[in-house]
Chains A and B, each alone.
Chain A
């Protein structure tokens, strides 16, 4: 299972970074999403991997439990990355509609003359 989780994080990160380097808004947004999935899975793994165990302590008997804190962190991270993805989609859409171009990078010419419209 460790191998599975580790390779999942690795593959997601790789694909995410590859897509981000495409520098067009749609692949970049997909890449960012993949990266945020990767980081969420990674955060789960930081509390040590444990299957079939609840994230709460039982005070009546000794039962295995998973570390609840990473789950709280992941929850927060998911909410934030979800919101951020929505924001970046809207801004990218605005940028595309106003300039008819989905490039992420501003080339030097654009920055100087502003004639990329």
Chain B
């Protein structure tokens, strides 16, 4: 067995308690260990991705128990891509949090951060449905801590809402898993796939119930339309660097849909036929529409970016819901793009808020906005999917994949009009923040408390003032921008990888053989 497979999960799982217990009062050491761990995890995931790139499926049997009985971790192209994405994002966010001093505004940022990384990586790699639940809980419980990091009344209130919503989702997840177990007698995904395929048509009613509940759970995580209500408040009121990390958490939901509904409830399973394509597609279209309207209607920059995140989830889920290999390839490309672009936008939003002294409403004069406005412009182009950057390539791929679908005109219209509305919303926000603020200077001086944000969200506000001098956050933003540029330039190799991944997803025989046939040891 290749022990490298489990290393990216074990490493943060060791570093996090070490930070809590040994380095509790040493912020500098915490930072060093946290960054070192993030860099190491990134190297590990890159190494794993290199191993998975040729299409082999590696299986790690925990405790050396063979697959249907023990828990397995599975590394295929999809998992490899997602863990690389996670580790890159994690490194960016941790550097940003250190650069802006966000990690010093409350206790245990780095420990929670490492636990969160562990949970996300685990969720991407596990080959067992119950274990997926466990890793979901790990990443969620860490995210609860990160969500209320640095405190503040509004943040706490949004935090309670977020926790309750997710606990409900978790309970539903358990109900779904229980139902699936009752029907099939297994929870290993590969084994589930085999048993579901063998099941005769007249005993699948309960199976369909389980599949629907599971889809609901993942839809909650992915913020699909009727279940998206938790996202805007939580993401805009969370510390924005944390929200940038949360950009990958909605993708965990999308990943789970992609994984479970290609592997277990694949296109050939009669019991769940059309579940994803018939139900998810309209929901995804509506999600995109509502997200775009939300972008247009937001008055705060955090909320605006949160709705932009919903928009990108809509596009992503449309692509997943098309349920063809080409569309899945487009979805994978779009996952990478939208994660990076959303995270970038959250970080820029954080810069804006910092320079306005932690104000929530983004309508104040702020120091040095030239560079920032350029970055906002670039990020807006990326997020809305305008030509030069990868968002455009991603949307083009999604629309191209929808070409043969019955609802093609609906899909194209929603994507295009959604993009238009998003770009208008972003342009309006950019104008308000970067241009109009100078016009507001007079009124701001005559009545110093014109901002009327009775509650500066942040508690440790003294550090926020000289934000303009911080270099590291800007470097991180530039790093993310250059990542997007690279994603655009190398969109050829990237789409080839995504298409190969999608092909692997839709022909799961290699996966099944690797997991159930004893694995590649």
Interface residues of A (CB under 8 A from B): 20, 25, 28, 32, 35-36, 38-39, 42-43, 45-47, 69-70, 73, 76-77, 80-81, 83-84, 87-88, 91-92, 94-95, 98-99, 101, 103-106, 110-117
**Residue of A43, A87, A105, A110 touching B174 (CB-CB under 8 A):** A43
Is A106 a contact of B233 with CB atoms below 8 Å? yes
The yes or no answer to B382 lying at the interface (CB within 8 A) is: no
Contact in complex: A73, B134 (CB < 8 Å): no
Within 8 A of A (CB), among B146-202: 148, 151-154, 156-161, 163-164, 167-168, 170-171, 174-175, 177-179, 181-182, 187
Whether A20 lies near B164 (C-beta < 8 A) is yes
B455 within 8 A of A: yes
The smallest beta-carbon distance between B450 and chain A, in angstroms, is 14
Chain B residues close to A by CB (< 8 Å): 130, 134, 137, 141, 144, 148, 151-154, 156-161, 163-164, 167-168, 170-171, 174-175, 177-179, 181-182, 187, 232-233, 299-300, 303, 360, 452-455, 457
In the bound complex, do residue A106 and residue B167 qualify as a contact, i.e. CB atoms below 8 Å apart?
Answer: no
* Candidates B144, B153, B174; contact of A39 at CB < 8 Å: B174
| Min CB–CB distance B65 → chain A (angstroms) | 13
B175 touching A110, Cβ below 8 Å: no
In the bound complex, residues from chain B placing their C-beta under 8 Å from that of A20 are 164, 168
Chain A residues, CB < 8 A from B171 = 32, 35-36, 38-39, 81
- The smallest beta-carbon distance between A34 and chain B, in angstroms, is 10
- CA of A25 to CA of B453, assembled, Å: 26
Chain B interface secondary structure, helix, strand, loop or mixed? helix
Check A32–B299 contact: CB distance below 8 A. Answer: no
Contact, CB under 8 Å: B141 / A104:
no
> Hey, which chain A residues are within 8 Å of B300, CB to CB?
112
CB atoms of B164 and A43 under 8 A apart: no
Q: A32-B168, A91-B144, A114-B154 are in contact. Are A77 and B160 (CB under 8 A)?
A: no
Alpha-carbon gap, A91 to B152, bound state (A): 12
- Chain A residues lying within 8 Å of B232, measured Cβ to Cβ, are 111
Cα A61 to Cα B434 in complex, Å, equals 79
> Which of B177, B178, B455 has a CB less than 8 Å from the CB of A114?
B455
Known: A98-B152, A98-B153. A88 touches B141 (CB 8 A): no
Determine the main DSSP class of A at the interface with B.
Answer: helix
Q: Which residues of A contact B144 (CB under 8 A)?
A: 87, 91
CA distance A20 to B161 in the complex (A): 11
CB–CB B156/A91 < 8 A: yes
24 contacts between A and B (CB under 8 A): A28-B164, A38-B171, A42-B178, A46-B179, A69-B187, A73-B178, A76-B134, A80-B134, A88-B163, A91-B144, A91-B163, A99-B154, A99-B157, A101-B157, A104-B160, A105-B161, A106-B233, A110-B154, A110-B157, A114-B154, A114-B454, A114-B455, A115-B454, A115-B455
